[in-house]
Amino acid sequence: MENDSQFGVVGLGASGVVTTISLIRELIRRNSRQPGSPFQITVFEPNGPFPGGIAYGTPHDVHVLNMRASTMSIHSDRPDSFVEWLRSRPGVTQHHPVHEDAYVPRSAYRHYLADQFAEAVKAAEEHGGSVRVVPSQVTDVSPRNDGVYLTSSDGVARFDQVILCPGESHHPPHHSLAGHPRYIASSWDYQSIEEIPADASVGIIGTSLSAIDVVLLLRAQGHKGPLHAVSRVRPLPKVQGAYHRHELKYLTRHHLRLLTCDHTRPLTLSDVSVLFRLELQDALGETVDWENGVLAEIHREDHARRLAEDIRAAESGNAYWYCVLDATGDVILDYWHHLDAASRQLFEQWRPYWMTYRHCMPLPTARTLLDMMEQQHLTVSTGMREVTQGEAGDFRITTHQAELYVDYVVNARGVSGDSVRGGPPLVQQLLASGTAVAHPDGGLRVEFDTARVYSRDGHVWPHLFLVGPQTSGVHFYTNSMETIMRNADQAARAAVAALPSSKSKSLAEQQ
């Protein structure tokens, strides 16, 4: 026990599960090279041993994965893992069909994560390791020369290496509405949403997939009152059609090396946009009218008609945007890494529209929304200016076109990149202590290739790593499982490689 390598993982959401599995895999590889290298992994998760995090914690089957089952494996060497798991457990999806293109309940994915975690723990035990889940909240992280000290309700413990997976930041609640009994501060507060009277009018702040979750839950429980989804600029997500695998020709690592003179100069947003236009035109087989087509499209306000057109495009196999953007998943991190600071700031103006195309909704979901809009059960508006309490105890939502009065308001703006204002408590502690520093483009600053954490004074902690949504400023699109897997693998490799070989040698000598 004394000579065991000690690892700490904080958080057991999707990022924590994938990171722990990557760490176990890397330690088993190390044991094959250096027999007699025992290890212990302690995972801190205050919500208990059943993993998944807030994204997959919903108990409602109406909340489905927004990605096809075939894309959701957490094993890069076994891309069919999730689909095979679903087929081996026919009861887990209940009334949802199981096939590669299925959108299954997110609760099923939580069970998948739990099973994969359990299998990895068993493999660790078979190779001289042990993994335990501690149901405690980590309240302090203190890196030192001899490792990292974690403080929880169980006391203080030292670890050789620690990987933090603290989850997402969220938009703060509307301060003027906080405490109002009919203001629901989070779209994940399912109990409060379920308690909304069926005939009440509801204002849903946001038009992203989080807002759609609220709409679908209210509909599933028989809500009859009018629903109004409003946002400042972001329209409804685009619609996924039949998947066409797109082979990148322009947004490639080869072109990245050429544009950056073998990684010696930064990119501009103009550089990347030229390549993306060429990529999209290659997929479409025709020239794209950017001024009168794309730019006009993203500012349209006839949301029902636009959604109907998106559905027809998806049904006819012409929804190429998503396929092209999805194909960039493995390389977009590298392009973002080389963008100059001015280009990153400029991109923030366009991020809501980029997310509209990148984070699309499933076709069945789109059909449901359109049906609700055609029945005037749901309206969608952009141009929101403010939300205030009305004189009659209700709420007033002001847009650039009209004023809406509603009985309830749900904050469904989803996740945020602002760790300073919306980060979880552990992230706030890291920032306050100077152990970590906020990245100007969102999340916390980490090394790109290793995910080691930077301190406020610019020092890189050799034993402290960060994986998940809190690295969005460095790794850009951290929502995808592909990015999580890549970063978890890199952090695990770096953490294991940093172990002193003397530990295993000392143990071997004792034996």
436-448: per-residue pLDDT in tens? 999 999 999 999 9
Angstrom distance (rounded) from CA 375 to CA 62 = 20
**∠ Cα 94 99 102 (to 5°):** 70
Count the Cβ atoms, other than its own, within 10 Å of residue 225: 16
| pLDDT band per the 50, 70, 90 thresholds, residue 418 | confident
Q: Mean pLDDT over residues 198-221, rounded?
A: 97
Cross-strand bridge partners of residue 361: 239
Angstrom distance (rounded) from CA 397 to CA 371 = 24
pTM of the model: 0.93
**% of the chain with per-residue pLDDT over 70:** 96
468-502: per-residue pLDDT in tens? 999 999 999 898 899 999 999 999 999 999 987 64
Angstrom distance (rounded) from CA 283 to CA 323 = 9
Q: Mean pLDDT over residues 301-316, rounded?
A: 94
Angstrom distance (rounded) from CA 187 to CA 213 = 8
Q: Mean pLDDT over residues 136-143, rounded?
A: 97
| pLDDT band per the 50, 70, 90 thresholds, residue 301 | confident
Task: Name the average pLDDT for the chain.
Answer: 91
322-344: per-residue pLDDT in tens? 889 999 988 999 999 999 999 99
Angstrom distance (rounded) from CA 257 to CA 331 = 12
One-letter amino acid at 90 equals: P
User: What confidence score (pLDDT) does residue 501 get?
Assistant: 66
Ordered domains of the chain (ranges, CATH): 5-170+417-510 (3.50.50.60), 183-237+362-413 (3.50.50.60), 253-358 (no CATH)
Angstrom distance (rounded) from CA 452 to CA 448 = 8
